[in-house]
Amino acid sequence: MKKSVNDIRQMVKDGEKISFLTSYDYLTAKYEERAGIDMILVGDSLGNVELGYDSTIPVIMDEMISHASSVRRGAPNTFIIGDMPYMSYQISNEMAIMNAGRFIKESRCDAIKLEGAGEQICERVRAIVGAGILVMGHIGLTPQFTAQLGGLKAQGKTAEAAWRLVEEARKLEEAGCWAILVEGVPAIVGKAIKENTTIPILGIGAGSHVDGQLIIYADMIGYYDDFTPKFVKQYCNVGEIVQKAFEEYISDVKECQFPDDNVHAYKIKQEEADRFEELLKEKKGK
């Protein structure tokens, strides 16, 4: 049965850690659901991982909607969160509600996530929550704010910066977020955020004390190798397996080892084959 936000909250209450992975397509989502993942994020990391951009900035809503819809088709029973891309919510409350609503209405996501903190972001959170949509906050290393952060760097590395993150988390909770994702902070900062809030706190590179762990699926299976953050644990090397398969295929085609007509080709009854030979001879003579 499909997990609801209440199931996720109950898991946190029971002390059961939440497993959380990104997905951007039907096939990956299908395998994640089969494996029993608790939640899927259709992240705007789509930009790097699937679309080949050098950041998440160029990703547009239509791309997110299309990919989130395919993820929903692959994982019909999983709690899915759509990630609001750059400039889909910053401009106005109306625009934020409209784009958040598209994730729910067109892609059948269960919730949305947006990056950032501060009064303006809290205002957007209140507006989207007011429209009846579940919002996950995202603080710490927030890729859409890379320019202001001075690069993709771990955050909360001074006592003051760490405390600011705790305050941001509290404000996002007050604004109505049902959960917060904390990215790229020291483990003690993840712990402090968890201890100073009452909603589910998920982490990606935020240590082990938070309620659950997110990782970019293509990092943990060794598929995306342009850049691998320090906090990634790699469970297999799909990139190597896939490349080897492609190389073997190319070699088979070049050396006429594929296809084998006894295995990989359609058959015709002998009687039809004989008639066909006759027909070919007859037509050739004309």
Whole-number Å distance between alpha carbons of 219 and 232: 7
Output 65 or 216, the one with its CB closest to ligand KIV.
Answer: 216
Interacting positions 214-243 with ligand KIV (CB under 6 A): 214, 216
- 210 binds ligand KIV, rule: CB under 6 A: no
Contacts with ligand KIV by CB under 6 A: the residue count is 11
Q: How far apart are CB 108 and ligand KIV at their closest, in Å?
A: 19
Given the residues 32, 33, 168, 183, select the one marked as catalytic: 183
| Position among 11, 18, 21, 22 found at the interface with ligand KIV (CB under 6 A) | 22
Instruction: Please choose, from the candidates 184, 188, 219, the residue with its C-alpha nearest in 3D space to the C-alpha of residue 203.
Output: 184
> Is residue 41 a contact residue for ligand KIV (CB under 6 A)?
yes
Q: Which is nearer to ligand KIV, 42 or 104 (CB)?
A: 42
- Minimum distance between the CB of residue 44 and ligand KIV, rounded to whole angstroms? 4
Nearest Cα residue to 11 out of 37, 30, 33: 37
Q: What is the DSSP string of the chain?
A: ----HHHHHHHHHTTPPEEEEE--SHHHHHHHHHHT-SEEEE-TTHHHHTT--SSSTT--HHHHHHHHHHHHHH-TTSEEEEEPPTTSSSS-HHHHHHHHHHHHHTS--SEEEEEB-SHHHHHHHHHHHHTT--EEEEEES-GGGHHHHTSS-----SHHHHHHHHHHHHHHHHHT-SEEEEES--HHHHHHHHHT-SS-EEEESS-SSSSEEEE-HHHHTT---S---TTPPP---HHHHHHHHHHHHHHHHHTT-S--TTTSS----HHHHHHHHHHHHHHHT-
Q: Is residue 32 part of the contact set for ligand KIV (CB under 6 A)?
A: no
Identify which range of 2-10, 41-49, 192-200, 230-238 contacts ligand KIV by CB under 6 A.
Answer: 41-49
Taking CB under 6 A as the criterion, which residues in 81-120 touch ligand KIV?
83
User: Is-catalytic flag, 282?
Assistant: no
Closer of 26 and 259 to ligand KIV (Cβ)? 26
Comparing CB distances to ligand KIV, the nearer of 38 and 44 is 44
Residue range at the interface with ligand KIV (CB under 6 A); choices 40-48, 66-74, 129-137, 188-196 = 40-48
Nearer to ligand KIV, 22 or 197 (CB): 22
**Least Cβ distance, residue 126 to ligand KIV (angstroms):** 21
* Ramachandran region, residue 197 (left: φ > 0; alpha: ψ -120 to 50; beta: rest): beta
Residue list 131-190, contact with ligand KIV (CB under 6 A): 181, 183
- Least Å from the CB of residue 5 to ligand KIV: 19
Q: Which of 28, 43, 179, 206 binds ligand KIV (CB under 6 A)?
A: 43
Give CA 248 to chain center in angstroms.
Answer: 31
**Catalytic residue numbers, as ranges:** 183
Instruction: Give me the residues that bind ligand KIV (CB under 6 A), please.
Output: 22, 41, 43-45, 83, 181, 183, 204, 214, 216
